[in-house]
């Protein structure tokens, strides 16, 4: 048997090898979304299947099992340097998760979700939930079966939440979401009743794509995005992906007749990328070299998109750039631009929702997922329940499943427990903002002067560099001195939107 130092070196080497497969797979996925020729997709998918299987085999290999057993042994664990110790803990969780599922059941799950995604596409296209229903029923049943293999404390949904948001539980989410929902519903109703609507006519027009690209590049540069460790491309659905520690890519979208989607998407994905570009390089080659959780990651994108990028101060500083790129907007004032970026109104589609109503879309999904996993809800009842909850929380109701229960891809891939991360991102972001205001009381003045470097440095110092070496709860406590709570987001939304709508 190797001694501890040798085992630690072998462990790091194995992780590095896995990270190399992940880099290839991330590039192959990025390429598929940024312009790979469509006839090449079937062979590409096969190639990705081969590499993904190989990476999976390495993760669950006998060698990995032996190294983990040796390195989690009390005496050995005490000798390890903290990075390796934290990596061992993280990898052990993943190892257990994979090893607890019987291989034939996992294989069946992969086949099922692969089929289900194309069925979902067809069902959404024809707006026919009944097509998708039998697949979703099987996915839900299998996910519940998996939860039994994995085990759970309290609610079965807790185990799924934990996979995206380590440590998060139904109890905590209920305690956060209930007051947030009540206060948000009230705010949305008040806004709707205010009679005020921002003037969005100036944002309608014809906006050249190359100019939008130039504007997006400038905004990323001003945020502090390092283009020598990333790149910007155009896609229909914007995303951020990290190939390696020095290659954090962003994509954005260009809508020909509205300049705002490019701005919001660029700031959002740029926020994700800044997180990745700020992680301590000592964590390279380990699974700690990523965000603390989906929710914490989303907090960084929302922070830049909403808290900074939809603030009055930001547009006082940045509007001249937009006007330089699009002289036709030179008659628009910063105040009008700010208001146009903050048009609040209930709508059907989550990904198009504004800053206020967005969380209500998440709550609809959260409650349905929770009920499916506990067995209290049946898949067949989803379309009706969806409409009911939309009416209750948002006051609008889809007349077709395509714009209702079928709008999102997540369930077809078995991703239950993911949606809450989006709302958690907003909660974390607002609470981080309070801490930022405490540490940098003039941060708004900095934004007004176009200085974003101090804010980025604060995020790097307090959040980014830690990567996944802290749980979300530890990180929030450490940064803000408080556990996660709804108060900061509720206060932020009221403070910002009541005056905007004359309330």
Applying CB under 8 A, the span of 47-55, 415-423, 439-447, 472-480 interacting with a second copy comes to 47-55
Answer for which of 43, 62, 78, 236 binds a second copy (CB under 8 A) is 43
User: DSSP secondary structure string, 181-237?
Assistant: HHHHHHHHHHHHHT------GGGBS---HHHHHHHHHHHHHHHT--GGG--EEE-SS
| Interface region with a second copy, contact rule CB under 8 A, candidates 33-41, 93-101, 173-181, 373-381 | 33-41
Nearer to a second copy, 26 or 200 (CB): 26
Shorter beta-carbon distance to a second copy: residue 25 or 377: 25
The yes or no reply on residue 244 touching a second copy (CB under 8 A) is yes
Strand 247-252, strand 240-244: pairing: antiparallel
Dihedral of CA 99/105/111/117: which sign?
A: negative
Smallest distance from the beta carbon of 53 to a second copy, in angstroms?
10
Catalytic residue among 90, 165, 269, 369: 269
Our finding on whether 58 is near a second copy (CB under 8 A) is no
Question: Of the listed pieces 44-52, 99-107, 380-388, 401-409, which binds a second copy according to CB under 8 A?
Answer: 44-52
Stretch that binds a second copy, among 29-37, 60-68, 332-340, 429-437 (CB under 8 A): 29-37
| By CB under 8 A, residue 287 contacts a second copy | no
User: How much of the chain is in helix, strand and coil states, percent to nearest 5?
Assistant: 70, 5, 25
- Does residue 54 touch a second copy according to CB under 8 A? yes
Binding mask 197-226 toward a second copy (x if CB under 8 A, else -) reads: -------------x---------------x
10 scored as a contact of a second copy (CB under 8 A):
no
Give the strands of the sheet with 240-244, arranged side by side: 232-234, 247-252, 240-244
Please report the DSSP string for 76-119 in residue order: HHHHS-HHHHHHHHHHHHHHHHHHTS-HHHHHHHHHHHHHHHHH
Among 156, 230, 238, 398, indicate the residue that binds a second copy (CB under 8 A): 230
Alpha-carbon gap, residue 297 to 426, rounded angstroms: 10
Residues 6+ apart with CB under 8 A from 79: 4, 5
Q: Which of 246, 280, 290, 323 binds a second copy (CB under 8 A)?
A: 246
Catalytic-residue membership of 269: yes
Q: Which of 86, 215, 243, 360 binds a second copy (CB under 8 A)?
A: 243
What is the per-residue binding string for a second copy in 156-195, x denoting contact by CB under 8 A?
A: ----------------------------------------
Strands 240-244 and 232-234: unpaired
The radius of gyration of the chain's CA atoms, rounded to the nearest angstrom, is: 23
Give 148 or 208: the residue with its C-beta nearer to a second copy: 208
CA angle in degrees (0–180, nearest 5) for 220-223-227: 45
Does 228 help bind a second copy (rule: CB under 8 A)?
A: yes
Q: Are 223 and 274 in contact (CB under 8 A)?
A: yes
CB atoms within 10 A of CB 287: 20
Tokens 């109701």 locate to 397
Query: What is the C-alpha to C-alpha distance for residues 380 and 235, in angstroms, rounded to an integer?
Result: 34
- Residue selected from 97, 231, 350, 444 as contacting a second copy according to rule CB under 8 A: 231
Confirm or reject binding of residue 39 to a second copy (CB under 8 A): yes
Chain positions contacting a second copy, by CB under 8 A:
16-17, 19-21, 23-24, 27-28, 31, 35-40, 42-44, 46-47, 49-51, 54, 210, 226-231, 243-247, 284
Q: Which residues are catalytic?
A: 269
């Amino acid at each position: 048997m190797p001694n501890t130092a040798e085992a630690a070196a072998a462990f790091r080497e194995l992780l590095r090898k896995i990270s190399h497969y992940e880099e290839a797979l991330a590039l192959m996925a990025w390429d598929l979304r940024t312009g790979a020729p469509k006839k090449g997709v079937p062979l590409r998918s096969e190639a990705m299947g081969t590499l993904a299987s190989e990476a999976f085999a390495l993760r669950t290999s006998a060698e990995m099992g032996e190294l983990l057993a040796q390195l989690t042994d009390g005496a050995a664990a005490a000798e390890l340097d903290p990075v390796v110790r934290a990596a061992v803990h993280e990898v052990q969780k993943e190892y257990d998760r994979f090893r607890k599922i019987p291989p034939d059941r996992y294989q069946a799950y992969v086949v099922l979700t692969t089929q289900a995604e194309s069925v979902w596409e067809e069902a959404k296209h024809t707006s026919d939930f009944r097509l998708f229903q039998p697949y979703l029923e099987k996915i839900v049943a299998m996910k519940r079966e998996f939860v039994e293999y994995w085990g759970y404390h309290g609610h079965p949904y807790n185990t799924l939440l934990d996979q995206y948001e380590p440590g998060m539980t139904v109890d905590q989410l209920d305690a956060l979401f209930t007051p947030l929902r009540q206060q948000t519903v009230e705010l949305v109703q008040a806004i709707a009743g205010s009679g005020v609507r921002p003037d969005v006519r100036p944002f309608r027009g014809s906006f050249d794509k190359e100019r939008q690209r130039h504007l997006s590049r400038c905004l990323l540069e001003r945020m502090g995005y390092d283009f020598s460790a990333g790149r910007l491309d155009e896609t229909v659905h914007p995303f951020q992906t990290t190939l390696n520690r020095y290659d954090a890519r962003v994509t954005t979208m260009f809508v020909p007749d509205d300049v705002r989607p490019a701005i919001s998407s660029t700031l959002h994905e740029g926020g994700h990328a800044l997180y990745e570009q700020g992680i301590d390089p000592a964590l390279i080659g380990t699974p700690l070299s990523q965000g603390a959780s989906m929710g914490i990651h989303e907090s960084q994108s929302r922070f830049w998109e909403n808290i900074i990028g939809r603030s009055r101060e930001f547009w006082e500083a940045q509007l001249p750039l937009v006007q330089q790129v699009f002289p036709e907007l030179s008659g628009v004032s910063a105040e009008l631009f700010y208001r146009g970026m903050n048009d609040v109104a209930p709508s059907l589609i989550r990904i198009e929702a504004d800053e206020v109503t967005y969380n209500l879309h998440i709550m609809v999904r959260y409650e349905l997922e929770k009920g499916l996993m506990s067995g209290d809800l049946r898949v067949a009842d989803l379309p009706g329940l969806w409409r009911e909850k939309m009416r209750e929380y948002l006051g609008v109701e889809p007349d077709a499943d395509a714009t209702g229960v079928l709008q999102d891809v997540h369930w077809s891939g078995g991703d239950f427990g993911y949606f809450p991360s989006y709302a958690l991102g907003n909660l974390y972001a607002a609470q981080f903002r309070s801490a930022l205001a405490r540490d940098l009381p003039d941060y708004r003045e900095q934004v007004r002067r176009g200085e974003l470097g101090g804010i980025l440095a604060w995020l790097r110092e307090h959040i980014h560099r830690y990567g996944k070496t802290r749980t979300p709860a530890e990180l929030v406590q450490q940064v803000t001195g408080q556990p996660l709570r709804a108060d900061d987001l509720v206060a932020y939304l009221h403070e910002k939107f009541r005056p905007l709508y004359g309330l």
